[in-house]
Amino acid sequence: MNLPPSVSVVEVGPRDGFQMEVEFIPTDKKIELVNGLVAAGLRHFEVTSFVSPKAIPQMKDAAQVAAGVERVPGLYLTALVPNPRGAEAAAQAGLDALVVFVSASESHNRANVNRTIEESLEGFKEVARIAEQAGKALRAAIPTSFGCPFEGEVEPAQVSRVIARLRDLGIQSFSLGDTTGMATPPVVDRLIRHLNQEHPGVELIAHFHNTRGIGLVNAYQALRLGVTKLESSVAGLGGCPFSPGASGNISTEDLVYLLREMGIETGVDLDKLIQVANRAEQVMGRTLPGQVMKSGPRLKRFPLPRGRTQKRLAEPPA
């Protein structure tokens, strides 16, 4: 199998995960979880979103969260910015890169930001100017790349057209969003092969949700096609507040476990990561969908049940 020797895991829980929570998460708890993830070895984060607090109240402390992250060597922080005002605020917050976002489908873009795709792209020109002036990298996220909950299939050519317009702004890194878990391995195969052919040399990042239970299967397919950067969310937090049926992202600890079992290096300490996932469950106050956080790695040892002995277990049944 043609799999990469190492993969960069991009933690998006602090943005994609937290934004779905109804009850406001205290800022110090957000910072605690992010710093726990940093201590576990994660180095790439989509740490927050500089959006209107009226639209997403959970992100009203974006600047404070960004300021509270412990800066260690190799740490790379990004944040979503919907408009020039958000870009200005993000640039002042000391982030490494700003991320603009435009859906691959017209319907979802209208539902998400109340703009047409063309209107969003035109608005990014000013964002690009702000990023360049501030010396910040500019990246792009493209929700509904693998399908739209309103329109159904999204053709690879449509995603390619959006990327072409974004490249005109100097962007060379693109996160392909599976916003409502509509991706399947054939869909992933078709899109990534098409984009590799149409846009050789750009960085493609895969962002899968586990809505229909095959998020990790899709991640594996992306790896086979040369993708070396995958986005995930601690404990499987996440979703999209403007997409019917959206549920959590693939779980970071589940992804790291899968990669480790395939001999792919991530630089992440799985045991520490599981501890943070369990802490996230405590902070959110409910059971979260991650699996490895519940069972641990496959070779985790457990004590024998009380009253059982090796001899009794070895005896044949009566």
Residues marked active site are found at 240
Pick from 220, 166, 232: which is nearest to 13 by CA?
232
First to last CA, the chain: 47
Counting Cα atoms < 13 Å in the Cβ hemisphere of 41 gives 17
Q: Could you give the C-alpha distances from 28 to 24, 35, 197, 259, 283, in angstroms and in order?
A: 11, 10, 45, 31, 11
Q: Which helix (H) or strand (E) holds 270?
A: helix 270-284
Q: Which residues pair with 230 in a beta bridge?
A: 9, 206
Q: Could you give the C-alpha distances from 30 to 69, 74, 163, 205, 280, in angstroms and in order?
A: 10, 21, 32, 24, 9
Are 246 and 17 spatial neighbours (Cβ–Cβ below 8 Å)? Answer: no
Are 117 and 109 spatial neighbours (Cβ–Cβ below 8 Å)? Answer: yes
Six token digits for residue 247: 């549920």
Pick from 80, 118, 74: which is nearest to 98 by CA?
80
